[in-house]
Amino acid sequence: MHSILISLLLFFLAPLNWIVILSGTTLFIRSSRAKKRCGALTLALFWLFSNGWLQNLYLQWWQPAPVELAAGASFSCAIIPGGFASPDVKGNGYFNSAADRFIEAVELYKSGKVHHLLVAGGNGRMDQANFREAAWVKSQMVAMGIPDSVILTEDRSDNTEQNAEYARKMLDSTGFKAPYLLVTSADHMRRARLIFQNSGIRVTGYPCNYHAGSNGFTLSSLWPDASVLSSWRDYLKETAGYLWLRVTR
């Protein structure tokens, strides 16, 4: 039931779906005036949500600023929520577009900023139920020269809420000193940090995997871009989830 509700939510958070629905509605409207208005709204939404410059402005506002740790700062553990590794059709793992979480976590350990790594991630995909993200990521960390003894894995969770729930239980049994460093994508950080804090875990955010650049306005950035249109769903999901948590807690 939960997965069905999430699927419906994601459907209605995708501007591309709004545009398709409005386009279809236009075909069945008899009033020429209403048809024109619906068509104009469809074109306006298409331009708005395929506009790279406007999306860049939105992300620069939404994503937290990069964090520069003070010289000599160290944390007992870094928590890395899953979602940056996926299974292929054969169930073999690979890094996806959020792989910067892995890169930053490895660098933080090797630079002495963190002493342990907790990878929290099971598998939210029903078609590859045997794939366990945390276990696969641990194998990649070990291959990078990180000792097995400093890597903790939580492989039961399928979403950020479960990441926090199971991570808290693990951390409570370790004796590690809080706050912990939360390493996740910049567009995910606001919601993830709030979820972990609501779960009773004191964290310091360490955003990475930024999607917004520092480029200014150009005429070409106003030209419709299909990749921009398709990426809005995930950004709106993070914003809506964060606002829901703020209202309900």
The 10s digit of each residue's pLDDT in 98-132 is 999 999 999 999 999 999 999 998 775 555 567 88
Q: Are residues 123 and 225 in the same domain?
A: no
Q: Are residues 7 and 50 in the same domain?
A: yes
Q: Are residues 94 and 112 in the same domain?
A: yes
Q: Are residues 82 and 204 in the same domain?
A: yes
Confidence of residue 186 (pLDDT cuts 50, 70, 90): very high
In-domain check, residue 69: no
- Two structure tokens written together for 117: 């790594």
In-domain check, residue 72: no
Q: Are residues 91 and 114 in the same domain?
A: yes
Q: Are residues 240 and 183 in the same domain?
A: no
In-domain check, residue 127: yes
Q: Are residues 95 and 108 in the same domain?
A: yes
Q: Are residues 12 and 109 in the same domain?
A: no
Q: Are 59 and 235 in contact (CB under 8 A)?
A: yes
In-domain check, residue 16: yes
What is the residue-averaged pLDDT of the chain? 90
In-domain check, residue 230: yes
Q: Are residues 204 and 219 in the same domain?
A: no
**What pTM did the predictor assign?**
0.89
pLDDT of 121: 86
12 vs 6, residue with greater confidence: 12
Handedness of CA 94, 118, 104, 160 (dihedral sign): positive
Give 225's DSSP letter: -
Residue 150 burial (10 A CB sphere; 0-12, 13-18, 19+): middle
Total domains present in the chain: 2
Q: What percent of the chain has pLDDT over 70?
A: 93
- Distant-in-sequence, close-in-space partners of 10: CB < 8 Å, separation ≥ 6: 233, 237
pLDDT of 139: 96
In-domain check, residue 221: yes
| Domain carrying residue 48 | 2-63+212-248
pLDDT of 232: 94
Give 64's DSSP letter: P
Q: Are residues 92 and 16 in the same domain?
A: no
Indicate which CATH number applies to the domain containing 99. Answer: 3.40.50.620
Give 182's DSSP letter: E
Q: How far apart are CA 119 and CA 109, in angstroms?
A: 13
List beta partners, residue 120. Answer: 81, 154
Q: Are residues 145 and 109 in the same domain?
A: yes
Q: How far apart are CA 172 and CA 141, in angstroms?
A: 23
In-domain check, residue 73: no
Q: Are residues 201 and 105 in the same domain?
A: yes
Match 């501007």 to its residue by tokens.
15
Of 188, 216, 232, the residue nearest 48 (C-alpha): 232
The 10s digit of each residue's pLDDT in 228-244 is 999 999 999 999 999 99
pLDDT of 3: 61
List beta partners, residue 154. Answer: 120
